[in-house]
Each structure stands twice: as structure tokens, then as C-alpha cells.
A and B are shown apart, each in its own frame.
Chain A
Amino acid sequence: EAQVTQNPRYLITVTGKKLTVTCSQNMNHEYMSWYRQDPGLGLRQIYYSMNVEVTDKGDVPEGYKVSRKEKRNFPLILESPSPNQTSLYFCASSLRGVEANVLTFGAGSRLTVL
């Protein structure tokens, strides 16, 4: 089944404890991106990647890092999480070309930072 898989789905952590949210897609998509969703603010893009080793900032990159060493994986790294990073996170991927804005989203990762 074609899908984007995120892990963990739920996580409670404490301020300053580094964590990684993994994202993997099995559709050979070139484009991958991360979003956070907060009540009343819709989806805001954190980082995106056009292809392996190519990443760029979205609208809200502060406090996050990403890497794209393999085409299928695009982990989101919070080096020193803070309470304002408590949110619902989504990873998404797509092909290039005409289908470039047809994103496949993961199920989401709900993160709570205490």
C-alpha cells in the first residue's frame, strides 16, 4: 500500500530532551515536507526537501532540523524541544511535475513537550 509512515504517533517529552520524528514513504517520491498544525493556525510548513541532500526552510523552521540522506526518509529533529513545539506534526510527500502539489500525508505525530 502506498503510504507515508510517521513514528512515533504520540510522544510526551520534557524540555531540552532531543527527539527525532521519523518519516518514510514507499512511493519513490522526490518531494517531502514537514508541517505542524496548531488550533486556529492551519498547516504551517517547517521544512521541505526537493530530493536527496536538498532541503530548504519553510515558514516556521526555528527549532527544527531535517536531513534527507535517502530518498524514502525525511526525519524531523528537535535538538532541544520547548513547550511551544507542542503540536501535531505531519509529514507529506509528492512526485514532481504536474502532480507536485498532490501531497500524500502521514497519519500525524502528536508531540507534547512539558
Chain B
Amino acid sequence: LAKTTQPISMDSYEGQEVNITCSHNNIATNDYITWYQQFPSQGPRFIIQGYKTKVTNEVASLFIPADRKSSTLSLPRVSLSDTAVYYCLVGQGDTGRRALTFGSGTRLQVQP
């Protein structure tokens, strides 16, 4: 199983772009990279998923280099409501054992 490493915490200000990087050096060929957002006392919520290159949706972008050993979640123009913990998850989409291991997450604090 791919182990992930993320910064413990990050600080930003409203309106700035925030980039959170996740390291996953032993990612397997059929692993997908998925990011979640979690507010206190709530369940994590899916943000974005990718396999390679760049993926963009209405809330974020995900950048994955060619070697796939890391990925970067980009949040454009953050607001106070983006203050949360962000988790990177790397796992085998639908093949083999489906034990999924989350990292410790990155606590993002957005200041006014």
C-alpha cells in the first residue's frame, strides 16, 4: 500500500491560492490519487481524484507529475470556509485488496 506524506499544517489568507503537496513514493501502477476535505466533527468529503497530469473541477485542481510520486492539490482564491483538514489518499481503484490508508492530513488555516 502506498504511504502518503503531507505537511502537518499550512496557513493562508483569504483570496490567495493554496497548494498542498502529497508525497507517495511507492505508488503502484493502478493506484488513483484522491483528495478529501474534512471539517471538525464531520465526515471527510470528496474533493477531486486523478491518475496522471492535471484534473480540474469547480472547486480545485490536482496536478500529478509524470512519475506520479507526488501530487499537488490547488485551491484557488481560498476563503475562510476553506479552513479544514485535507487528506490525500492513494489506493488501487478497484483491483486487489481494498484496504485504504489515509495519511495524517494537512490542517489549512485561512485568515481574513
Which of chain B's residues has its CB closest to A106's CB? Answer: B43
Which of chain A's residues has its CB closest to B104's CB? Answer: A42
- The total of chain A residues at the interface (CB under 8 A) is 32
Given A96-B94, A101-B93; A43-B32 close (CB under 8 Å): no
Contact yes or no, A41 B104, CB < 8 A: yes
Which of chain A's residues has its CB closest to B36's CB? Answer: A103
When distances are taken between beta carbons in the complex, the residues of chain B under 8 Å from A92 are 43-44
Q: A42 touches which one: B46, B91, B102 (CB < 8 A)?
A: B102
When distances are taken between beta carbons in the complex, the residues of chain B under 8 Å from A108 are 41-43
When distances are taken between beta carbons in the complex, the residues of chain B under 8 Å from A43 are 44, 87, 102
Which of chain A's residues has its CB closest to B105's CB? Answer: A42
Q: A48 touches which one: B45, B49, B99, B102 (CB < 8 A)?
A: B99
Which B residues contact A (CB, under 8 angstroms)?
32, 34, 36, 41-46, 49, 87, 89, 91-94, 97-105
19 contacts across the A-B interface (CB closer than 8 A): A33-B100, A41-B104, A42-B87, A42-B104, A42-B105, A48-B98, A50-B98, A56-B97, A88-B41, A90-B43, A92-B43, A98-B93, A101-B32, A101-B49, A101-B89, A103-B44, A105-B43, A106-B43, A108-B41
